[in-house]
Amino acid sequence: MNPEHLIPVAAPAASPASPARRVLLGAAGALAAAQCLPAVAQIPTNLNELPEIPALQEFLAGRRVQFARMQLEIPRVADNGNSVPIKLGVLGAVAPGAVQSIHLFSEKNPVPRMAVFHFPASTARFDIESRVRLAGTQRVVAVATLADGALCVKVAEVLVAIAACLDGS
């Protein structure tokens, strides 16, 4: 957005503004422009469709997925990509053996298949907490394989902050 677009509205040509007033109006224009900007730069992404990750496509092998029940908690903005907290779970899965496995995929990491958690038949609670590496801002996909064959997915997007100071220690 260009702040200059706002100036003619506030300062019509018929009444020439004094230099001081011009500065003030300019500042007001800039402020108005700043208010139009979102707090965090947004990348338009659809979290209801799967990102193109060949390893994910290979794993799914054309099987249908449902965007439901899978829980994937990860910060919207990560302070450091080297260690990002993550929580996984499957809503409503309480019976022993209800979930066979949870798979985690990364859109940007050099190794896209980040993790697979295999549960034996005895497990009845499928909540996992861990910390992952993310090579830059990207989407992360969790897929749960249920005992009845259903595939539940959740997509999350993480903005990875970069360190302010270079560190060569």
Partner 1 sequence: MARKAAISLAVAGAALLALASLVYAQSPPTRAIPLDQLKSGLAYTGDDVRALQADDFANPGMLWVERGEKIWNTPAGATAKSCASCHGDAKSSMKGVAARYPAIDPATKQLLNIEARINDSRTRQQKAEAFKPESEDMLAITAYVNFQSRGVPVGVAIDGAARAHFERGRAFYYTRRGQMNMSCATCHEQSFGKRLFAETISQGQPNDFPIYRLEWQTMGSLHRRLRACLYGVRAELLPIGSPELLDVELFLAWRAQGLKGEAPGVRR
Partner 2 sequence: MADARIQIPPAIKRGENFEVKIAIRHAMETGYRVDDVGKPIKRNVIRELVCKYNGTEALRVDMSSGFAANPLLQFWLVAGNSGEISFEWDDDTGTKYAERAAVTVAG
By the criterion CB under 8 A, which residues form the site for partner 1? 75, 77-80, 82-83, 85, 161-169
CB of 91 to partner 2, least distance (A): 15
Residue 166 binding result from partner 1, partner 2, none, given CB thresholds of 5 to 8 Å by partner type: partner 1
Q: Is 9 exposed, middle or buried (0-12, 13-18, 19+ CB in 10 A)?
A: exposed
Q: Bridge-partner residues for 113, per DSSP?
A: 105
Residue 96 binding result from partner 1, partner 2, none, given CB thresholds of 5 to 8 Å by partner type: partner 2
Q: What are phi and psi of 55, to 5 degrees?
A: -65, -35
Structure tokens given for 12: 């019509």
Q: What are phi and psi of 120, to 5 degrees?
A: -80, 175
CB of 109 to partner 1, least distance (A): 15
Residues 52-111 contacting partner 2, CB under 8 A: 82-84, 96, 104, 106, 109-111
